[in-house]
């Protein structure tokens, strides 16, 4: 029996060594599992943060699109307003020119007569001469009377420019 007992001890010793190896392997697997669980937890946390970030970015994108649409609407309104302002400025310039012309009215007009009949009225001698020339008058055929001298009757002169005072005495 002593042989048998020794053999049992050897088997038990071998089993014990095997159990110790299994235990060491199991401990290593538990450590590996714990590390993998941590990695999975970190990955899950990362995915949750990534989902949250994607949702926030989507909301920010939608808000930016709304802001862009609003800005484009304002831009269109401002362009329309600018066109109106440009038209208003042009109309105001025209009114200002008209007002300045009215302020610059002279106290005289130049009447263009053809054989004593009224042909047209002008604000300057040059305008009256240009109108007469465009109606066929000869540029060299102007009659200039001496100041204070009597002029021939208007019905005898083909083209005549006569200066007249407008309004009463000043």
Check if the beta carbon of residue 80 is closer than 8 Å to that of residue 97.
no
Confidence (pLDDT) at 83: 81
Check if the beta carbon of residue 125 is closer than 8 Å to that of residue 103.
no
Average pLDDT for 96-104: 72
CA–CA separation, 117 and 22 (whole Å): 137
Check if the beta carbon of residue 160 is closer than 8 Å to that of residue 143.
yes
How does residue 27 score in pLDDT terms, banded at 50, 70 and 90? very high
Confidence (pLDDT) at 33: 93
DSSP type of residue 149:
S
| 39 has pLDDT over 80 | yes
Average pLDDT for 27-52: 93
How does residue 11 score in pLDDT terms, banded at 50, 70 and 90? low
| 30 has pLDDT over 60 | yes
Which of these ranges, 16-20, 57-61, 100-104, 152-156, has the smallest mean pLDDT?
100-104
Confidence (pLDDT) at 1: 47
Q: Average model confidence (pLDDT) for the chain?
A: 82
Is residue 1 classed as helix, strand or coil in its secondary structure?
A: coil
pTM to 2 decimals? 0.37
**Burial per residue of 61-85, b for 16 or more beta-carbon CB atoms within 10 angstroms, e otherwise:** eeeeeeeeeeeeeeeeeeeeeeeee
CA–CA separation, 146 and 124 (whole Å): 19
| 169 has pLDDT over 60 | no
């Amino acid at each position: 029996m002593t042989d048998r007992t020794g053999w049992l001890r050897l088997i038990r010793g071998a089993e014990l060594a095997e159990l110790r190896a299994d235990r060491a392997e199991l401990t290593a697997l538990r450590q590996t599992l714990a590390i993998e669980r941590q990695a999975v937890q970190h990955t899950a946390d990362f995915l949750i943060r990534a989902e949250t970030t994607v949702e926030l970015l989507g909301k920010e994108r939608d808000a930016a699109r709304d802001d862009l649409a609003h800005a484009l609407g304002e831009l269109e309104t401002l362009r329309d307003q600018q066109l109106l302002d440009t038209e208003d400025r042009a109309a105001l310039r025209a009114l200002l020119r008209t007002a300045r012309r009215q302020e610059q009215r002279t106290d005289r007009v130049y009447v263009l007569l053809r054989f004593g009949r009224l042909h047209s009225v002008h604000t300057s001698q040059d305008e009256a001469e240009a109108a007469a020339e465009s109606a066929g008058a000869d540029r060299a055929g102007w009659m200039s009377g001496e100041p204070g001298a009597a002029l021939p009757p208007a019905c005898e002169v083909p083209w005549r420019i006569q200066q007249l005072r407008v309004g009463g005495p000043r």
